[in-house]
Amino acid sequence: MSDILHRVGVKSPPRDTYKALSTRDGLAGWWTTDTKGDCDVGSVIKFQFGERGFIDMKVLELAPAKRVLWQVTGGPGEWIGTKVSFDLAPEDDFTVVRFKHQGWKEPSEFMDHCSTKWATFLMSMKSLVETGRGAPYPNDIHVANKGD
């Protein structure tokens, strides 16, 4: 098993960062503008990235201002069954977010790509919370050679 791990510090109270991770408007502001579905525990949030593909996330845990845990139920084969978590903790006047995308069966070039891409989306989330403006799909930062 391999994991993608990241950490960002967001200049905000944890409740504001949590909002970006646990509401449809929040998620649409940094990951993809085409975000559908409810965000309650047990619901499936549908993230569409145009023709590039989609990801369905079942919400497994929500701890306000502390933690969000999803499991992938639809999307790229390598993603199915993997889990994505965001753990929040206040530090000075920041919220530290530890991100984990865990359960990859094996390292791959696609996983390496997703690691870099997650970093840019986490920076988009940080920007959304700090400035009100993120860079969600289709205005996301391209890291690779297929417009992705």
Q: Which one, 80 or 96, has the nearer CB to a copy of itself? A: 96
- Buried-exposed string 37-70: b where 16+ CB fall within 10 A, e elsewhere: bebeeeebbbbbbeeeebbbbbbeebeebebbbb
The answer to whether the CB of 36 falls within 8 A of the CB of 19 is no
Using rule CB under 8 A, residue 5 touches a copy of itself:
yes
Q: For residue 43, which of 26, 20, 60 has the smallest C-alpha distance?
A: 60
Query: Please, which residues bridge with residue 45 across strands?
Result: 57
Q: Which one, 45 or 79, has the nearer CB to a copy of itself? A: 79
Q: For residue 49, which of 142, 131, 122 has the smallest C-alpha distance?
A: 142
Q: Which of 43, 50, 53, 144 binds a copy of itself (CB under 8 A)?
A: 144
Site size toward a copy of itself (CB under 8 A) is 31
Beta pairing class for 67-74 and 54-63: antiparallel
Task: Give dist(CA 119, CA 148) in Å, integer.
Answer: 13
- The footprint of a copy of itself on residues 71-130 (CB under 8 A) is 91-92, 94, 96, 98-99, 107, 109, 111-113, 115-116, 119-120, 122-123, 126
Q: Which one, 56 or 95, has the nearer CB to a copy of itself? A: 95
Q: Which one, 59 or 114, has the nearer CB to a copy of itself? A: 114
Residue ranges that bind a copy of itself, judged by CB under 8 A = 3-9, 11, 91-92, 94, 96, 98-99, 107, 109, 111-113, 115-116, 119-120, 122-123, 126, 141, 143-146
